[in-house]
Amino acid sequence: MNSSKLLITLMVSLLIAACSTSPTGRPQLITKSDAELEAQAASTFNAYRSTLPLATDRGKIDFVACVAQAVVAELNPPYSDIEWELAIFEDKQVNAFAMPGGKIGVYTGILEITEDQNQLAAVIGHEIAHVTARHVNERASRGSLTGIGIEALAVIMGGGYTGGAYTASQVLGAGAALGMELPMGRGQESEADVVGLEYMAKAGFDPRAAVDLWQNMAAKGGKTPPEHLSTHPASETRIENLIGQWQKTLPIYNEALADGKNPQCKKTW
């Protein structure tokens, strides 16, 4: 009995020690180390770069790099101390992702939906926010506790921007074996929206463009699954939440403009 009580006490102590708080004040359970996830992310990212076709269009490369560099420049330590890597994949998939250790992947399919630099900044800011808010760590920790684990961090970080649900072929093609688990919770997606808006606003991108982005997604994404079955909030819910952040993010954006932050990332193709 004493041994059982001691074991329970130790387990509770470990769980308490592993608890942290997200950027929006949400309690998190983190048991996976950053170093472990960064090593796994580096391996996965390298595998993607060596397997998937990389974009060769100079205009697309320069456009995405311009936006990504501007957003990354606004991060705080330890993320500002990372040398971020960017890969642009020539693929019609409407998606992007970011990984621990400073890895960003963008599929050219999303460039057909994003109309300008501001809308792409909303996407990249959102994906980077998943990393800085430690959503990958949180998801990996939950996975390890349930015995599911992680096969591909890119799948966990990405989620798709046209409905948020993977087909069987997409999951298998990405090398994921997550069973019935969804890549990210809706709460994490909403939190990434909030944090990502601040990043883009600090960089001089108009946060109002995030609403335009999701209106485009709703118009061009076709039939989407019900909100309770999707990894992303429904477009209507998401747009309402984004508008609700304008009171906070527009002053940040205006301050960035006053400080001379005015990115000039243009589509030239």
Q: Pick the residue with more confidence: 208 or 145? A: 208
Cα 205 to Cα 51: distance, rounded to the nearest angstrom: 33
Cα 232 to Cα 95: distance, rounded to the nearest angstrom: 13
Q: How confident is the model at residue 45 (pLDDT cuts 50, 70, 90)?
A: very high
Q: How confident is the model at residue 31 (pLDDT cuts 50, 70, 90)?
A: low
What is the total residue count of the chain?
269
Q: Pick the residue with more confidence: 142 or 40? A: 40
Q: How confident is the model at residue 227 (pLDDT cuts 50, 70, 90)?
A: very low
Cα 43 to Cα 54: distance, rounded to the nearest angstrom: 17
- Inform me whether the pLDDT recorded for 255 exceeds 60: yes
Q: How confident is the model at residue 188 (pLDDT cuts 50, 70, 90)?
A: confident
pLDDT score recorded for residue 65: 98
pLDDT score recorded for residue 19: 60
Please state the rounded mean pLDDT for residues 79-93. Answer: 95
pLDDT score recorded for residue 233: 61
Highest mean pLDDT among 33-42, 131-140, 193-202, 217-226: 193-202
pLDDT tens column, 146-175? 443 444 454 445 556 765 444 434 444 444
Domain boundaries, the chain: 24-258
Query: Which whole-number Å values give the CA distances from 254 to 68, 124, 265, in the listed order?
Result: 20, 20, 18
Could you give the 3-state DSSP secondary structure of residue 148? Answer: coil
Determine which helix (DSSP H) or strand (DSSP E) holds 86, and give its type and residue range: strand 85-89
pLDDT score recorded for residue 232: 56
- Inform me whether the pLDDT recorded for 28 exceeds 60: yes
DSSP 179-202: TT--SS-HHHHHHHHHHHHHHHHH
Cα 252 to Cα 153: distance, rounded to the nearest angstrom: 31
- One-letter amino acid at 245 equals Q
Cα 111 to Cα 39: distance, rounded to the nearest angstrom: 29
Sign of the C-alpha dihedral, residues 114, 212, 72, 159?
negative
Cα 176 to Cα 183: distance, rounded to the nearest angstrom: 10
pLDDT tens column, 8-24? 444 444 444 456 776 76
Whether the Cβ atoms of residue 100 and residue 61 lie closer than 8 Å to each other: no
Cα 151 to Cα 169: distance, rounded to the nearest angstrom: 15
pLDDT score recorded for residue 89: 96
Instruction: Locate 157 and state its tokens.
Output: 């970080």
Please state the rounded mean pLDDT for residues 88-94. Answer: 94
Could you give the 3-state DSSP secondary structure of residue 268? Answer: coil
Summary count for the chain: helices (H), strands (E): 11, 5
- Inform me whether the pLDDT recorded for 192 exceeds 90: yes
CA 183 remoteness from chain centre: 11
Number of CB atoms found within 10 A of residue 69's CB: 15
Whether the Cβ atoms of residue 158 and residue 93 lie closer than 8 Å to each other: no
pLDDT tens column, 55-74? 999 999 999 999 999 999 99
Task: Tell me which residue has tokens 């009580």.
Answer: 5
* pLDDT, the chain, mean: 79
Cα 171 to Cα 180: distance, rounded to the nearest angstrom: 11
R_g of the chain computed on alpha carbons:
19
- Inform me whether the pLDDT recorded for 125 exceeds 50: yes
